[in-house]
Amino acid sequence: MDNISETISLIRHGCNLARELESNLPNLVNQPENLFSISKSLDQIMRVFGEARERVDSSSAAHQDPLSSYVHVAQQKQQIDASLQEWLRCNYTQAMEDQYIQTQRLIAERSSSATPSDMRDSGDQAMDHIITMVSHDMNVSSSSQSRPRRRKDLGEIRKLTVPAPRIGNTEIPPEDGFTWRKYGQKEIMGCRFPRGYYRCTHQKLYNCQAKKQVQRLDNDPLTFEVMYRGDHTCHMSSTAPSTLPPPPDQIKQDNMTQKHAPTTQPLESTWLSMDFNTSVRGSSGGGDGVGTSTATTTRYGKEVEFPVVDLADAMFNSGSSSTNSMDFIFTNTSAENKWESGDKKN
């Protein structure tokens, strides 16, 4: 096996690991004792990608002839990009892929007159980008696409497909860390399953316009398609907010940079300040029979404080957050500045 093939194989292995982790996330995040295995998985993924990247670097450095180096790196980058795009295509939304392709186009434009070292940098950027894509909360620029008009324009729509919980009640979508109040359900033409309409529990108190729609897939009843609209302007906690909501202009500003965390209390700090041993507890009070998957969203019950939902939130909610899901995980489970910087590039 030549070096390129080995590198591609490594990357594919990393993608598989990431895919495996992704499919297990809904269950893992609901069990505090599994957080360590999440951390281990992330470390393993980073190791694999790190090794792949070293191979790319060393390979390009070994080609001293400028022309052959240029061609070699370009070929390698092309194959890597194909792998990344395939992975993205399999795992993420079209919008994400569009964003990825757009970024690649910018990279290509920048490197059209590039030196071999520049090309290597663009390869780094491609590698960085996959982290950014994973970590960037699957946010879609509201100005990038024109949508069919709805009665009320609540802003961008972020779509996620989420597997049903493998344990507990598989009839409900997995927890996403926010508390939602169901306000409607409707049979949709051509769909076997009704669509559920939810809005943020804190809509009235904080004028939080976040909404979501949950639809089971016809061809895969164990998978939910969740569409999020609007951003959370409420406190990110699943419990009653502890601080007063920011003024409207502040809210507007916050929405530009983060989805739900208050400006004074970033998600990271909230998460890191948690004490699992004392804060994590079962869902007995006010649970709805969801079983082990229940974190906060309850039926007829009171919300249960549960720090794990912050992590779940980070993983399952899309939005315009800059401090978000996988980035949040990466930055808190590893000292690899690389992953962090990858996100900050955007």
Candidate ranges 62-70, 123-131, 183-191, 251-259; the one touching DNA (CB under 7 A)? 183-191
Binding mask 265-284 for DNA (x = CB under 7 A): --------------------
Please select the residue that binds DNA; options are 1, 2, 90, 151, rule is CB under 7 A: 151
d(Cα 235, Cα 202) in Å, to the nearest integer? 8
Q: Could you say which residues in the range 209-228 bind DNA, by CB under 7 A?
A: 211, 213
188 binds DNA (CB under 7 A): yes
CA-wise closest residue to 200 among 241, 153, 152, 256: 241
d(Cα 320, Cα 36) in Å, to the nearest integer? 28
197 binds DNA (CB under 7 A): yes
d(Cα 329, Cα 169) in Å, to the nearest integer? 27
Please select the residue that binds DNA; options are 40, 105, 186, 252, rule is CB under 7 A: 186
Q: CB nearer to DNA: give 91 or 292.
A: 292
297 binds DNA (CB under 7 A): yes
237 binds DNA (CB under 7 A): no
Q: Tell me the three state secondary structure of residue 306.
A: coil
Q: CB nearer to DNA: give 44 or 93.
A: 93
**For DNA, how many residues bind (rule: CB under 7 A)?**
32
Q: How many CB atoms lie within 10 A of CB 80?
A: 21
Q: In what order do the strands lie in the sheet with 157-163?
A: 157-163, 223-229, 211-216, 195-200, 180-186
Q: CB nearer to DNA: give 120 or 199.
A: 199
For tokens 């894509």, the residue is 133
How far is residue 179 CA from its own chain's centroid? 18
Which residues are bridge partners to 213 per DSSP? 197, 227
Q: Could you say which residues in the range 23-62 bind DNA, by CB under 7 A?
A: none
184 binds DNA (CB under 7 A): yes
d(Cα 301, Cα 287) in Å, to the nearest integer? 6
Candidate ranges 62-70, 151-159, 271-279, 317-325; the one touching DNA (CB under 7 A)? 151-159
Q: Could you say which residues in the range 300-319 bind DNA, by CB under 7 A?
A: 300-303
Please select the residue that binds DNA; options are 2, 113, 143, 148, rule is CB under 7 A: 148
149 binds DNA (CB under 7 A): yes
How far is residue 269 CA from its own chain's centroid? 19
201 binds DNA (CB under 7 A): yes
Q: CB nearer to DNA: give 90 or 190.
A: 190
Long-range contacts, 113-118 (Cβ 8 Å, 24+): 115/66, 115/70, 116/60, 116/63, 116/66, 116/69, 116/70, 116/73
Minimum distance from residue 102 beta carbon to DNA (Å): 25
For tokens 């016809």, the residue is 218
Binding site for DNA (CB under 7 A): 148-152, 154, 179-190, 195, 197, 201, 211, 213, 285-286, 297-303
